[in-house]
């Protein structure tokens, strides 16, 4: 048992040093020793091992008039890669990400809405091979795939419990993809993947407590508490679309009455718009809003009210440092943010509002892919 404890501690120390080099690069061995409180000898040994394995390299050294500066360390971006995949009803996004978390290549493919499960698996396999081969990456350097998709996901077992958008249920996606691609695979809800990207390369890099709201075909959230994704009992934490805001309201597809999603989802917006005139897509509503048509402005005014109420409720429950707004609505109507913030000022308790930063995702269509690939590195990297 003592030997196992020593091996575990050694692995944890190596991971700690590697993560510090990632986040504080360029950094010297002396700085690493001070931050980790490990002895200079231990740091030197760990760094040497990581250099020999190709994870770390010495960066250029600058000399000054008072002598030679300490040698600085940085990660080697091409030591390994992961592939991130975002699955949606009509689109598959695939990205190749290096060890620094940088996107090497990114591709978007159409998916037929009635495409079978097996067809989707084959397409992911094909696109994964394509993006690896086109960038001339050695297959042994690709340590795995991360997949983000809508729905209720058992991320530990790699099972899609239910995805209404994809019409999948009790599907062992991770195992099936691993069998097909021969790569290790992790899967999770798309927003939980995206918040990893926001916290690593996006709007909340300096925060251990933040919330990501995704607003589009529905509304959902991912919650980061103390630097870890908050999952709840069965990984459904953040499903705020099914919080009841009006017990006398509309019937939701889940069977309950008055769910938040029945007021601000794209289908709800289109249904309201059709009470005024024939509308076939959410883009028509957005165009009418941009043209300042009264009916569209009234609908979006109500939508922003419910979004602000959702933000207020999440802020009071968790008191995060950041709430990040993202999704199709935010991307298509960037100017709508100021109206949401004005209403947040009205609804959020001042003691919480004064410390809360409301920001907007800048990752666009790459967010889920990058988060999935980064999470795959964190989970699959074996030191």
Candidates 3.90.1150.10, 3.30.420.40, 3.20.20.370, 1.10.1200.10; correct CATH number of 203-362? 3.30.420.40
Question: Mean pLDDT for the chain?
Answer: 93
pLDDT digits (tens, 9 = 90+) for 279-331: 999 999 999 999 999 999 999 999 999 999 999 999 999 999 999 999 999 99
Query: Running DSSP on this structure, what letter comes out for residue 79?
Result: S
Say if residues 103 and 366 touch (Cβ distance below 8 Å). yes
Query: In what helix (H) or strand (E) does residue 284 lie, and over which residues does it extend?
Result: helix 282-290
Residue ranges covered by each domain of the chain: 2-75, 81-195+367-380, 203-362
- 194 vs 93: CA distance, rounded Å: 13
141-166 mean pLDDT: 95
pLDDT digits (tens, 9 = 90+) for 226-250: 999 999 999 999 999 999 998 998 8
Sheet holding 27-28, edge to edge: 27-28, 72-75, 56-58
Extract the tokens encoding 148: 């983000």
Extract the tokens encoding 60: 């250029």
* pLDDT over threshold 70, residue 65: no
Q: What is residue 36's predicted lDDT score, i.e. its pLDDT?
A: 93
**81-195+367-380: what fold?**
Nucleotidyltransferase; domain 5 (3.30.420)
Q: What is residue 168's predicted lDDT score, i.e. its pLDDT?
A: 95
Q: What is residue 301's predicted lDDT score, i.e. its pLDDT?
A: 96
Q: How confident is the model at residue 157 (pLDDT cuts 50, 70, 90)?
A: very high
Q: How confident is the model at residue 66 (pLDDT cuts 50, 70, 90)?
A: low
22-41 mean pLDDT: 92
CATH number of 2-75: 1.10.10.10
Q: Check for a shared fold between 81-195+367-380 and 203-362.
A: yes
Say if residues 59 and 83 touch (Cβ distance below 8 Å). no
Classify residue 57 as exposed, middle or buried by CB count within 10 Å of its CB (0-12, 13-18, 19+).
Answer: middle
Measured distance between the N- and C-terminal CA atoms of the chain, rounded to whole angstroms: 20
Say if residues 12 and 19 touch (Cβ distance below 8 Å). no
* pLDDT over threshold 60, residue 145: yes
Say if residues 165 and 342 touch (Cβ distance below 8 Å). no
Say if residues 94 and 131 touch (Cβ distance below 8 Å). yes
């Amino acid at each position: 048992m003592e030997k196992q404890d020593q091996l575990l501690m050694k692995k944890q120390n190596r991971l700690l040093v590697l993560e510090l080099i990632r986040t504080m690069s360029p950094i010297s061995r002396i700085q690493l020793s001070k931050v980790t409180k490990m002895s200079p000898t231990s740091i030197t040994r760990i760094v040497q091992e990581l250099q020999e394995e190709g994870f770390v390299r010495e960066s250029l050294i600058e000399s000054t008039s008072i002598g030679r500066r300490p040698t600085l360390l940085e990660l080697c971006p091409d030591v390994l890669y992961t592939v991130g995949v975002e699955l949606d009803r009509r689109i598959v996004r695939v990205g190749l990400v290096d060890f620094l978390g940088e996107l090497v290549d990114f591709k978007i493919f159409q998916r037929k809405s009635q495409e079978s499960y097996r067809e989707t698996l084959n397409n992911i396999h094909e696109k994964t091979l394509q993006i690896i081969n086109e960038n001339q990456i050695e297959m042994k350097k690709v340590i795995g795939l991360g997949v983000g998709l809508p729905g209720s996901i058992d991320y530990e077992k790699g099972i899609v419990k239910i995805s209404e958008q994809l019409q999948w249920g009790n599907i062992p996606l991770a195992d099936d993809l691993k069998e097909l691609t021969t790569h290790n695979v992790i899967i999770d809800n798309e927003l939980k993947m995206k918040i990893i990207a926001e916290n690593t390369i996006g709007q909340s890099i300096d925060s251990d407590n933040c919330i990501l709201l995704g607003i589009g075909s529905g509304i959902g959230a991912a919650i980061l508490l103390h630097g870890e994704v908050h999952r709840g009992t069965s990984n459904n934490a953040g499903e705020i679309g099914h919080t009841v805001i009006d017990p006398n309201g509309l019937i939701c597809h889940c069977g309950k009455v008055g769910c938040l999603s029945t007021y601000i989802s794209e289908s709800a917006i289109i249904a309201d718009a059709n009470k005024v005139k024939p509308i076939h897509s959410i883009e028509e509503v957005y165009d009418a809003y941009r043209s300042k048509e009264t009916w569209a402005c009234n609908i979006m005014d109500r939508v922003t009210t419910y979004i602000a109420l959702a933000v207020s409720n999440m802020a009071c429950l968790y008191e995060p440092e950041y709430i990040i707004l993202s999704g199709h609505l935010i991307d298509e109507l960037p100017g709508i943010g100021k109206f949401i913030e004005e209403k947040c000022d009205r609804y959020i308790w001042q003691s919480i509002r004064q410390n809360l930063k409301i920001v907007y995702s800048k990752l666009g269509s790459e967010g889920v892919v990058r988060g999935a690939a980064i999470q795959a590195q964190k989970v699959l990297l074996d030191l």
